[in-house]
């Protein structure tokens, strides 16, 4: 975890655009040549294999040449990675604090190229697409189709695609997970037990899949949108909640080009540039999400009061920007138990995860022959690394529900920390342990990658 903590503090590798594009072009061309030659060589060797006595020296020479060029590709790729510039994103955030949204957008696209994408919700964050368009650089846009959006939003997506001549990359929730949620709890369970479970299935998990293919993403967050959670967001940061292409904490960068822009100025910009907008805005909608969870706001109301209005929550986030919630904020009425010490919400709240007490985990350790394997996370609710893996661990538990593997959690901070360090191999939070059926000592998960596939691979290899 030491390396993860260092990465999380704000520095990851990044290429300069010109160097990367030139290198990518070279490598791409060489790879194409090698692949083409390898394809031809396979055909030639198939022919000559029939007549082994007729050796064709030109084919051997071509094979040697292809191998040599492939070696060059590998060597140049390694050299490119070795010469990557290490960027201090906290320092960069301070440098860009007073920069214009256009300048910040240009810097983001120049730094990450096609490994960054704009998150577009169908609301006033269309300003991001306009800024990206104005830079003259190529850009990608993705959106989360939850299946519960307003008809006006779907029509607007189509309008935006035509206006900018782009294709939005849509991400959808897993059909099986949606079916399971609706069959077990109905179409509108969020009105009764809070919106987080539905948002996790329809928004957070699809977003997690989208971001795993990127090194950075661009959001429309503004400080004035939600004073309870967004007042301190920087213009660029190491994402505290999600993982990027390389996996592990600190592997994804989050850009917020309009963080310092107020809502009135955003709308002035949209009108000046004649940007198409969602027709719901003319009906009193400001912050637009899913149809059942969004309504117009009255004059004088804050825009976020139109989201999940049945909840008396000070920290209205669906989970996409959960990292905005500080350690000392309480989340009232959000169907989550709270830390009695500082009011932070507890983690991994699902019936698929067993909450182990100190006697419970001690009994688990004493068992010489267990009926089934157990995977246990040692965590602290205030730990951002633990918060970042919450969705993936919950998803893991739900995937393993009904199998022969039990999934559990043990809160290992405070008075329990010395015990966890001495008896449970706790080095830093989170620590994941696997208690096998016959093992006398739990096996510690060695990787910093905490996505579902990596965790499943670890469990399946030892179960």
- Count CB-CB contacts under 10 A for residue 221: 22
Say if residue 96 is exposed, middle or buried (CB neighbours under 10 Å; 0-12, 13-18, 19+): buried
- Residue 4: the pLDDT is 43
Of 145 and 27, more confident: 145
Let me know how long the chain is. 463
39 pLDDT more than 50: no
Residue 13 in this model has a pLDDT that exceeds 90: no
pLDDT of residue 310: 75
pLDDT of residue 162: 97
User: Tell me, what's the pLDDT at 349?
Assistant: 85
**CB-side exposure of 119: number of CA atoms within 13 Å?**
21
Taking alpha carbons only, the member of 202, 35, 217 closest to residue 120 is: 217
Tokens coding 324 = 């905005």
| Lowest pLDDT segment from 41-55, 223-237, 245-259 | 41-55
Question: pLDDT tens, 264-283?
Answer: 999 999 999 999 999 999 99
Model pLDDT, residue 307? 80
Nearest-angstrom CA–CA distance, 299 and 281: 13
For 86-291, CATH gives: 3.40.50.620
Of residues 332 and 36, more confidence is placed in 36
Catalytic residues: 383, 386
Domain boundaries, the chain: 15-83, 86-291, 354-462
Which string of DSSP letters, residue by residue, matches 200-260? IIIIIHHHHHHHTT-SEEE----TTT-TTTSTT--SEEE-SS---TT-STT--EEE-TTTT
Higher-pLDDT residue of 131 and 22 is 131
Query: What is the fold of 354-462?
Result: Glutaredoxin (3.40.30)
Nearest to 449 by CA among 252, 292, 287: 252
Write out pLDDT tens, residues 345-367.
Answer: 789 988 899 999 999 999 999 88
Of residues 340 and 145, more confidence is placed in 145
Question: What's the sign of the alpha-carbon dihedral 232, 238, 240, 243?
Answer: positive
Average the pLDDT over each of 22-26, 92-96, 101-105, 284-288 and give the range with the smallest value: 22-26
Report the relative pairing of strands 236-238 and 253-255 from DSSP bridges.
Answer: antiparallel
Give the range among 50-59, 111-120, 219-228, 237-246 with minimum mean pLDDT: 50-59
pLDDT given at position 12: 45
């Amino acid at each position: 975890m030491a390396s993860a903590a260092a990465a999380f503090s704000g520095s990851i590798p990044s290429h300069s655009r010109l160097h990367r594009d030139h290198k990518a072009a070279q490598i791409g061309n060489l790879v194409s040549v090698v692949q083409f030659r390898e394809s031809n060589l396979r055909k030639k060797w198939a022919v000559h294999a029939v007549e082994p006595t007729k050796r064709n020296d030109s084919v051997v020479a071509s094979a040697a040449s292809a191998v040599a060029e492939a070696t060059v590709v590998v060597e140049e790729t390694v050299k490119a990675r070795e010469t990557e510039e290490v960027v201090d994103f906290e320092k960069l955030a301070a440098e860009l604090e007073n920069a214009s949204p256009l300048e910040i957008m240009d810097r983001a696209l120049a730094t990450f190229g096609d490994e960054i994408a704009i998150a577009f919700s169908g609301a006033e964050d269309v300003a991001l697409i306009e800024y990206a368009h104005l830079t003259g650089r190529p850009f990608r846009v993705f959106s989360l189709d939850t299946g519960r959006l307003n008809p006006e939003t779907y029509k607007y997506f189509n309008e935006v695609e035509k206006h900018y001549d782009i294709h939005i990359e849509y991400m959808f929730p897993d059909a099986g997970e949606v079916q399971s949620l609706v069959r077990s709890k109905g179409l509108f369970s969020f009105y009764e037990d809070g919106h987080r479970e539905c948002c996790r299935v329809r928004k957070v998990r699809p977003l997690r899949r989208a971001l795993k293919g990127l090194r950075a993403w661009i959001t429309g967050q503004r400080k004035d949108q939600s004073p309870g959670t967004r007042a301190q967001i920087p213009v660029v940061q190491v994402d505290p909640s999600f993982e990027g292409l390389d996996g592990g904490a600190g592997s994804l960068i989050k850009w917020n080009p309009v963080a310092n822009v107020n809502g009135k100025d955003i709308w002035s910009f949209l009108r000046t540039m004649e940007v198409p907008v969602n027709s719901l805005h003319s009906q009193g909608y400001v912050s637009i999400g899913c149809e059942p969870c969004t309504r117009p706001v009255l004059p004088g109301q804050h825009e976020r009061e139109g989201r999940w209005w049945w909840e008396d929550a000070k920290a209205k986030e669906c989970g996409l920007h959960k990292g905005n919630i500080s350690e000392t904020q309480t989340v009232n009425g959000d169907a989550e138990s709270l830390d009695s010490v500082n009011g932070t919400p507890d983690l991994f709240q699902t019936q698929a995860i067993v909450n182990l007490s100190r006697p419970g985990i001690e009994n688990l350790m004493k068992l010489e022959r267990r009926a089934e394997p157990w995977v246990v996370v040692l965590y602290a609710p205030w730990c951002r690394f633990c918060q970042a893996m919450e969705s993936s661990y919950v998803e893991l538990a739900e995937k393993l529900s009904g199998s022969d593997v039990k999934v559990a959690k043990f809160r290992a901070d405070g008075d329990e920390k010395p015990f966890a360090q001495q008896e449970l191999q706790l080095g830093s939070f989170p620590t994941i342990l696997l208690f096998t059926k016959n093992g006398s000592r739990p096996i510690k998960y060695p990787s910093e990658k905490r996505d579902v596939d990596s965790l499943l691979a670890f469990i399946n290899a030892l179960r």
